[in-house]
Structure 1
């Protein structure tokens, strides 16, 4: 064809992109196979692969290993709206209880991991403690109770997954017998125990979307080219001393996080 390699796959990507945006290739439709792309557009195997890779990176298509690529569905509204937040309740005996807004919808899919480690630089910066600080980790894989999310063009899918990790500095357990005996707790249990011990709690939450790690891609069933949504809720005392941090990871595909907000004077 007399074109450079870059020119080859750029032209193919543009042609397929035009078919997708015009609706000629509808959401869920399979793209031509690699061999068909080579034949239709007269390009090399490299050119066909690079064109598919570019469209995947743009979020226009999803690649399914061993099957091919299909057009990613577009939505004006997210299909999944996950409500984030904590509820503070007082029972009939005047005892304070905390409830995570997501807890009633996400359920463990396997036995949790329980281990002790030291804070890496990234974890230390997020948690607000010195690097190498000893921390307990309660690591869970959760699945959502809603309808499975389609992951293939034929509509087949699996329940949504979320990784939830609770990082608890060893120092937080000091003076609280229940935590000294068993530091591996759910957020509801941890915050309730801290409240019973007279600890005053505050939180700040950070949210970001990023490229998933290979482990996240496998564990969360995230298709190639789609981001992972990470939240980090950091609990502190009134003097900003760190108490604990929750981290969640879930596919950002067609998902939004919702927050109830109350005006503050701070």
Structure 2
């Protein structure tokens, strides 16, 4: 370590060196404040600053009463393709689980009728679920489904399958529209996702069309520390999407 660096920066460099070299893998517990104080002969304030800054920078995750751990890279979800989250999680070799929060028929208000591009709609299927990876909530799904497209949607057992899998099996998807916004979670989202008020989130708002009708409108909320959205396409030489 460079003696020219402040002590807290020297501790940060030591921890980052172990992470970047692979010596400390994601999920590994890092030395506690007490252990850093003893090893580097520094103050507790200095050790706390090093751990606090590395946590804020996304390298560590601190679990109160348990310890500080090397943070795993956030999981990736496609921003373009319509993919089943259970399959994505299984593909990573992780365990998928879900909690059903609400499932009911609901009135179609004017704003929803506009989203579904059908002012004659009076009722919609509504579903709220939390999807989990290794027991950790990674996605809050708030979905409306057009009953003219999938009449029996609410009859399905969502403890054994996902809404996306049900919709893909029931009707072809011809067109997708995606809008992504950064947001802070509401109190209800904090409770369902197990996050703090200042945890930034990504909200993916998706509309799906099937045979000329809007089949479903869904908002998928991801804690930004646990999930990332990505896309990759072929383009022309000037950067336009290839057909």
Tell me how far apart the structure 1 counterparts of residues 154 and 223 of structure 2 sit (CA, whole Å): 34
TM-score (norm. length: structure 1): 0.52
Q: Where does residue 67 of structure 2 map in the other structure?
A: none
Q: Deviations over 1:172-211 (max 9, x none)?
A: 236xxx559659762122122113xxxx521111111112
Q: Where does residue 53 of structure 1 map in the other structure?
A: none
Tell me how far apart the structure 2 counterparts of residues 123 and 220 of structure 1 sit (CA, whole Å): 25
- The structural deviation recorded for 1:234 is 0.8
Change (3 A) 1:79 1:126: farther
Pair 1:251-2:234 in alignment: no
In the TM superposition, 1:155-166 aligns within 5 A as 159-166=136-143
1:84·1:259 contact (CA, 8 Å) conserved in 2? yes
2:130·2:137 contact (CA, 8 Å) conserved in 1? no
Pair 1:215-2:215 in alignment: no
Q: Where does residue 145 of structure 2 map in the other structure?
A: 168
Pair 1:109-2:114 in alignment: no
Pair 1:135-2:124 in alignment: yes
Tell me how far apart the structure 2 counterparts of residues 254 and 188 of structure 1 sit (CA, whole Å): 23
**Structure 1: which 5+ residue stretches go unaligned?**
1-18, 31-60, 62-69, 88-98, 146-157
Deviates further, 103-112 or 186-195: 103-112
How many pairs were matched up?
A: 178
SS in 2 for 1:117: strand
**Structure 2: which 5+ residue stretches go unaligned?**
1-5, 16-29, 34-48, 60-70, 90-94, 236-240
TM-score (norm. length: structure 2): 0.56
- The structural deviation recorded for 1:116 is 1.0
